Amino acid sequence: MISARLSLSAALLCLSAALPAAASAQTAMEHGTTPSEILLKGADGKTIGTIAVTDAPKGVILRVQAKGLRPGWHGIHFHETGDCSAPSFKSAGGHVHTQSPVVHGLLNANANDDGDLPNLRVADDGTAMAEFYSTLVSLHGTGGRPALLDKDGASVVIHENPDDYKTQPIGGAGSRVACAVIR
């Protein structure tokens, strides 16, 4: 089980921390997919960036562009409900999952949390630009993976602290500081 989860976590990679947005959108279009771009809101309800989710043959590509965040590492996850009611974003629910009880953590041998992603790095000027590939979810429920575009949508939530990939229920990532609705 450990090697299977570690192999899966190896598939969740940060494709690029500095890839220009235009280039990644162009790449998605060249492969016949169109990224779905959504607004990222801070706890005050103001737009602080964009999130683009692109369907891929065996998962999704998530592109994050943000500003105004605290520098350092931040947990980022797919959450089960497409509702980012500020200021706490608790309306986004828990992480996307297909099994209960939900066990969190890319480094947890018993993990079943499909919303897990690697941490997001925010630069000293408060900006972040990164792409992640996740084989744990899909836009429409393809391949038995949970659908982000189900009847109530999903959300991408950025937390105030890094995810340690082990601690329950959210890897010690702390409060929710930004949220984007996927619909």
Residue spans of the domains in the chain: they are 2-182
Sequence-distant (6+) residues with CB within 8 A of 59 are: 11, 133, 134, 135, 136, 137, 138, 145
For residues 42-49, average pLDDT: 94
Sequence-distant (6+) residues with CB within 8 A of 93 are: 79, 80, 81, 83, 155
DSSP 15-84: EESS--HHHHHHHHHHTT---EEEEEEETTS-EEEEEEEEEETTEEEEEEEE-SPPSEEE-EEEESSS--
Distance from first CA to last CA of the chain, Å, rounded? 33
Check if the beta carbon of residue 104 is closer than 8 Å to that of residue 168.
yes
Name the fold adopted by 2-182: Immunoglobulin-like (2.60.40)
Sequence-distant (6+) residues with CB within 8 A of 67 are: 48, 49, 126, 127, 128
pLDDT single digits (tens) 159-175: 999 999 999 998 999 99
Q: Is the pLDDT of residue 34 over 70?
A: no
Q: Is the pLDDT of residue 29 over 90?
A: no
- Give the number of other Cβ atoms within 10 Å of residue 19's Cβ: 14
Q: Is the pLDDT of residue 176 over 90?
A: yes
Q: Is the pLDDT of residue 27 over 50?
A: no
pTM of model > 0.85: no
For residues 45-69, average pLDDT: 95
Q: Is the pLDDT of residue 47 over 50?
A: yes
For residues 59-82, average pLDDT: 96
